Structure 1
Amino acid sequence: MSNHSTAPDRPGEHEEPEPHDLGLSHDLPTLLNRRHAIGLLTAGGLVAALAACSPTTGTGDGAATGAPTGGPGGGSPNDTSQADVGAGEIPEETNGPYPADGTNGPNILTTTGVVRSDITTSFGDSSGTAEGVPLTFSLTVVDVSGDGDAGTPVAGAAVYAWHCDRDGRYSMYDIADQNYLRGVQEADADGKVTFTSIFPACYPGRWPHIHFEVYPSLADATSATNRMRTSQLALPQAVSEAVYATAGYEQSVANLQDVTLDSDMVFSDGYALQMAKTSGSVDQGYTATLRVPV
């Protein structure tokens, strides 16, 4: 398990968070007292483990770190299963131009209420709900630096996840007065976090995806400088096509036809460890799962 950091792929000017917002750091004592500091003790052990790990360098432009080259010939765009367990760490990727983690404009990580599982609605001073086909996605963080192919669940880790809406727009940037489709969750004893959301659009030049950052603990998830991995989840082609055939996703139909995993700026060098396993339907909503080896 190694530490990485990335930078956005293009600069921009955006609004800063409200100065009166006390933020997640203010909420932590309440959260921790409620859990009798169990999560903090778990996170402390993880921080110690991180200190023993030797750092590697990530390029921030989609380069893999010890992962198989699962792009061309590395799996089908309709493959809903990941590569074999023990295939290495999930690739380090760019956090893109709309991270809202303080590296390019606003920082939602310091906003009170960001720790939540349902990210379909805005919170705090914002209001609004993202429309689209329901999607529940789960990420399971495992440490693969030790012995054993399966890895060890990283209990107490924190994951910040974000993605575009069904029109291909990002809150806090394209839609400045909304902060939906962004949230932070603390991993359970199995290293798992789950978010309730909507299926993201396919916008020009990019394969359907979800961004995420992994942090050693909830306490660390207030500054991007503390992240230990930044990556992206890819969604299968067949599922995406089914979703994009529904009302509201019209623009995504043509956009998906114009991009492939092999031409995508992020997944072209390998996506075997980033392709989510999916199930469900348009009527019932979809579920996506991804193992995140770090």
Structure 2
Amino acid sequence: MPADQRDLFDLGLQADLAMMQQPLLTRRRLLRLGLVGITTFLAGCTPMSNPAATPTAAPSPTAVPTTAPAAAAATAAPTTAPPTTIAPTAAPTSVAVAECVDAIPRETAGPFPGNGAQGANLNVLSRSGVVRPDIRTSLGTGNTAAGVPLRLELKLVRAGGDCAPLDGYAIYVWHCDAPGRYSMYSPGVEGEDYLRGVQAAGADGIAVFQTIFPGCYAGRWPHIHFEIYPSLEQATSARNVVHTSQLAFPADISRQVYADAQYGNSLRNLGQLSLERDGVFRDGWEQQMATVTGSINDGLVARLTIGVPGV
């Protein structure tokens, strides 16, 4: 651990008491600022700014990064109108920095898990090639799901305690396509298995998927399903699942994505929903709301730190 990170936890009793008096989200943002940011805050009692506010310099509409940093600010005014961009809601300074979070709520796998719970013929985990970073293409047919590109970065940590990264744990993700259909189940895509895949977390606890922003079908807030397994070797069927949950997407970003005609009725469906009424997220979504940055034209990046209980 770098010296500046070790010093964050050795600022003395007065600093510890001051930090404990701050709200949970403020403490998390302070930790991301590092030693200089924390000492400046404690000295001046400067309030934390709203992470959702639009920055004064718009993010550069560059391609989705292959590493985790947030989109860089533009250094010069463009000569033409830039593509639609989305301001970061709470982008971490580095996804490699450990973040201590509560356990993410356990949620239903839903009616379309494809994990063998409904029979061997509906188990994508048993198919060759399912361990893959890019889940946009079907393993069998080679057909690719269309939609706004999305880089999904999920960090698995032990909930509570030291929140250590879960090196080697596997995560299976699946979600609907732009029109709101689930591969392997929905009419017209029963023979597809795109938008389903498995990755192992690295030493930093991070697993990365290249996918598309999911559509919004009637009755459910935009979301992605996932299951945690102890290892890739055990990510073969639902009987080995450690934890199951879902992540949600911000409303404003979803509305911008759904303005694209390939998302069909998603914009109308979203207008009839709210997180407060959603059957999964209505009991609280703080631990499940992804942070999204990037450009609709060049691709979005969604990040979530997942606290896994009982590991």
Same fold (TM over 0.5): yes
2:152 aligned with 1:137, yes or no?
A: yes
Map of 1:166 onto structure 2? 178
* Contact 1:80–1:236 (Cα < 8 Å) also in 2: no
Q: C-alpha deviations, 1:157-196, integer Å up to 9, x for none?
A: 0000000000100000111110000000011111110000
Q: Give the superposed CA RMSD.
A: 2.1
* Contact 2:88–2:293 (Cα < 8 Å) also in 1: no
Question: Based on CA coordinates, which of the two structures has the bigger radius of gyration?
Answer: 2
2:194 aligned with 1:177, yes or no?
A: no
State the Cα distance separating 1:103 from its structure 2 match: 1.2
State the Cα distance separating 1:198 from its structure 2 match: 0.7
State the Cα distance separating 1:86 from its structure 2 match: 4.2
* Contact 2:101–2:159 (Cα < 8 Å) also in 1: no
State the Cα distance separating 1:126 from its structure 2 match: 2.3
- Provide the C-alpha distance between the structure 2 equivalents of 1:144 and 1:96, rounded to a whole number of angstroms: 24
After TM superposition, the runs of 4+ consecutive aligned structure 1 residues lying more than 2 A away are 78-82
SS in 2 for 1:109: helix
* TM-score with structure 2 setting the length: 0.66
* Contact 2:103–2:307 (Cα < 8 Å) also in 1: yes
In structure 2, give the amino acid aligned to 1:153. Answer: P
Give the 5 Å matches for 1:195-274: 195-274=209-288
State the Cα distance separating 1:225 from its structure 2 match: 1.1
* TM-score with structure 1 setting the length: 0.70
Gaps of 5+ in 2: 1-51, 53-86, 92-98
- Provide the C-alpha distance between the structure 2 equivalents of 1:220 and 1:268, rounded to a whole number of angstroms: 32
2:103 aligned with 1:89, yes or no?
A: yes
Q: C-alpha deviations, 1:61-120, integer Å up to 9, x for none?
A: xxxxxxxxxxxxxxx9x99449xx545200000000000001124011111110000001
State the Cα distance separating 1:250 from its structure 2 match: 3.0
In structure 2, give the amino acid aligned to 1:239. Answer: I
- Provide the C-alpha distance between the structure 2 equivalents of 1:268 and 1:80, rounded to a whole number of angstroms: 21
* Contact 1:79–1:236 (Cα < 8 Å) also in 2: no
User: Which one has more relative contact order, counting CA pairs under 8 Å at least 6 apart?
Assistant: 1
State the Cα distance separating 1:281 from its structure 2 match: 1.8
In structure 2, give the amino acid aligned to 1:206. Answer: R
- Provide the C-alpha distance between the structure 1 equivalents of 2:256 and 2:116, rounded to a whole number of angstroms: 35
2:138 aligned with 1:122, yes or no?
A: yes
Tell me which of 195, 205, 213 is aligned to 1:191.
205
SS in 2 for 1:135: strand
* Contact 1:232–1:274 (Cα < 8 Å) also in 2: yes
Give the 5 Å matches for 1:30-41: none
Map of 1:43 onto structure 2? none
SS in 2 for 1:266: coil
- Provide the C-alpha distance between the structure 1 equivalents of 2:292 and 2:193, rounded to a whole number of angstroms: 26
- Between the two proteins, the alignment pairs up a number of residues equal to 215
In structure 1, give the amino acid aligned to 2:133. Answer: S
SS in 2 for 1:240: helix
SS in 1 for 2:261: coil
Q: C-alpha deviations, 1:15-55, integer Å up to 9, x for none?
A: xxxxxxxxxxxxxxxxxxxxxxxxxxxxxxxxxxxxxxxxx
Identity percentage of aligned residues: 50
